[in-house]
Amino acid sequence: MALQHFGWFLGAGFGVQGWGDPTYGIGYDWKKPRVYQDAAARFEASGFDLFIIEDGVTVPDTYGGTAEVNLANARFVPKHDPLPLVPYLLAATSKLGIVPTLSASFYEPFTAARLLATLQHFAEGRLGFNVVTSGSDIAAQNYGLDKQIDHDRRYDRAEEWVQVVRALWRSWDADAILEDAAGGVFADFTKVRTIDHKGEFFQVRGPLNTAPLAEEPVMVQAGASGKGQDFAGRNSDVILQLASTPERMKAYRESVRSVAASFGRDADDIKVLFVVQPIVTANAAETADVRGHRAELTQAAIDEALQGVSYLSGVDFKKFDLDAPLPELTTNSNQGTLDNFVKSAPAGSTLREILQLRANKDGLAVIGTADEIADHLGSLADEVGGDGFLFTGQVHPANVHRTLDPLVPALRRRGLLRTELGDGGLRSNLLDF
Ligand SMILES: Cc1cc2nc3c(=O)[nH]c(=O)nc-3n(C[C@H](O)[C@H](O)[C@H](O)COP(=O)(O)O)c2cc1C
């Protein structure tokens, strides 16, 4: 077993934490930074490389054509914008990478480049940014569009967006600022240039008006479709994917690494991290109990699973007969996520069978004692050849403690989790191994 990178992916974003848990709201207020600061400090002390915060800009109403289930259960809504949280997380930590999500479809590249550059100055090399393309029509309708542009076109736009953002970051030479008080020259005008970008989607003059960066923020991306993999493999430092079967995980990693190589990159410079949700139990009896509850597949559990996949894929799963095989599905939204769901059971399975398998078979969710989960992750890492894992789940204190208190030592005992992070920033930590 080799050292793996670990992190936490806050999959429902800067939103309600712990609703439905008996400890909900005790000692924390999800609307304030403190609970996330505490979690971030714990991740850093655990030797995690990064903390990624999801984002979206809708009150989801795909499931059954209404927001009822999402609002009643606080699923993906309400939530705050993750960017203002970043300085608070930076203040609570000194080595952890902090990665907010922002949308290439809704941020102008100049606005994004400027915001991220400012935050990276605060972060001293610890900032990342998760670039998403936002597949939802109802999100697009908040930004003046009738519907979201086509899936592949969104990636074309995102590609140009990244090129412009990076060109803006490079519009000042690293040594442009002289601060030469004696000579009376603050910055050398010959080292600051317009970019004069005129592309298919953007026209940006530049230069950026912030100070040059010692190091550009780490780019994170989660594309899984062909176009998504092209975009991620070409541009991204970290690629996240939902865990599924070892075969599919391995195939994904190999595919995206070969895309990176085809663009002249060293495939070892990109880190493919798989998202898992550890559900830690005390012993075999509790594991059986948890699995038993999950196998019951109550209406609440069905709603919980289906609102999630409806939100992420843009397909209303309420309209399908639970006891019939799913029809052939396509989406203009997140293709990889839809694929991950549909293919989690053999072809021809009914929707109920898919849900049952997902509830009970380890994939995204991994259920067991800390030692069993650590063994599972160790053998997955061996089989997939992966670079590491992102734990997902809400960061209310009870969940962070009950997950990490037993799991961190179990991972350390197996040599899977490092004991200390370096001081060189997020990219440097990611490239340690
Ligand atoms: C683990 C994971 C995390 C993601 N996080 C976000 C997010 O925070 N916000 C968002 O709008 N999309 C998010 N997505 C969607 C992806 O960024 C990507 O746009 C989507 O998977 C569509 O790409 P594809 O069609 O190539 O699979 C996430 C996807 C995955 C698998």
Protein residue closest via CA to atom 16 of ligand 1: 222
Record the pTM: 0.97
Percentage of the residues of the chain whose pLDDT score is greater than 70: 100
Which residues pair with residue 129 across a beta bridge? 219
Mean pLDDT of the chain: 96
- Tokens 């950026």 belong to 208
Cβ–Cβ under 8 Å, residues 259 and 251: no
Ligand 1, atom 22, residue with closest C-alpha? 334
- For the chain, what is the radius of gyration of the CA atoms? 22
Q: Is the pLDDT of residue 1 over 80?
A: no
**Measured on CA atoms in the order 359, 362, 364, 369, is the torsion positive or negative?**
positive
Distance from the alpha carbon of residue 237 to the mean position of ligand 1, in angstroms: 15
Q: Tell me what the mean pLDDT of segment 412-431 comes to.
A: 97
Residue of the CA atom closest to atom 30 of ligand 1? 222
pLDDT of residue 274: 97
The atom of ligand 1 lying closest to the CA of 132 is 17
Cis peptide before 60 (omega within 30 of 0): no
Question: Which among 55, 62, 133 is the best mutation to test ligand 1's pocket, defined by most ligand atoms within 8 Å of the CB?
Answer: 133
Protein residue with its CA nearest to atom 6 in ligand 1: 54
- pLDDT at residue 225, as a whole number: 92
pLDDT, one tens digit per residue, over 302-333 is 999 999 999 999 999 999 999 999 999 999 99
Kindly give the distance from the C-alpha atom of residue 136 to the centroid of ligand 1, in angstroms, as a whole number. Answer: 11
Probe residue for ligand 1, chosen from 337, 339, 390 as the CB with the greatest number of ligand atoms within 8 Å: 337
State residue 69's pLDDT score. Answer: 96
Question: Whose C-alpha lies nearest to ligand 1, atom 27?
Answer: 336
Architecture of domain 5-276+369-430: Alpha-Beta Barrel (3.20)
For the chain, percent of residues with pLDDT exceeding 90:
95
> Residue 249: what pLDDT?
95
pLDDT band at residue 360 under the 50/70/90 scheme: confident
362 compared with 184, residue with greater pLDDT:
184
What tokens appear for 4 in the block?
A: 């793996």
Q: What is the pLDDT of residues 4-18, one digit of tens each?
A: 999 999 999 999 999
3-state class of 132 per DSSP?
strand
| Ligand 1 centroid from CA 240, angstroms | 9
d(CA 285, CA 246): 27
Q: What is the pLDDT of residue 28?
A: 97
Q: Is the pLDDT of residue 433 over 80?
A: yes
Please determine, for residue 363, whether its predicted confidence score (pLDDT) is greater than 90. Answer: no
Fill in the amino acid letter for 321.
D
Cβ atoms 398, 24 nearer than 8 A: no
Handedness of CA 345, 350, 355, 360 (dihedral sign): negative
Atom number in ligand 1 closest to CA 240:
1
Residue of the CA atom closest to atom 4 of ligand 1: 222
Task: Check residue 235 and give its pLDDT.
Answer: 98
The pLDDT of residue 336: 87
Ligand 1 centre distance from Cα of residue 205 (Å) = 30
Atom 20 in ligand 1: which residue has the minimum CA distance? 334
Residue 39 alpha carbon to ligand 1 centre in Å: 23
- What does the pLDDT read at residue 318? 96
275 vs 306: CA distance, rounded Å: 19
Mean pLDDT of 172-198: 98
- Which residues contact ligand 1 via a Cβ below 6 A? 54-56, 101, 130, 132-135, 222-225, 228, 240-242, 275, 334-337
State the average pLDDT over residues 392-396.
Answer: 97
pLDDT at 236: 98
- 26: Cα separation from own chain's centroid: 27
For residues 171-180, give the mean pLDDT.
98
pLDDT of residue 337: 87
- Tens-digit pLDDT profile for residues 102-122: 999 999 999 999 999 999 999
Q: What is the pLDDT of residue 386?
A: 83
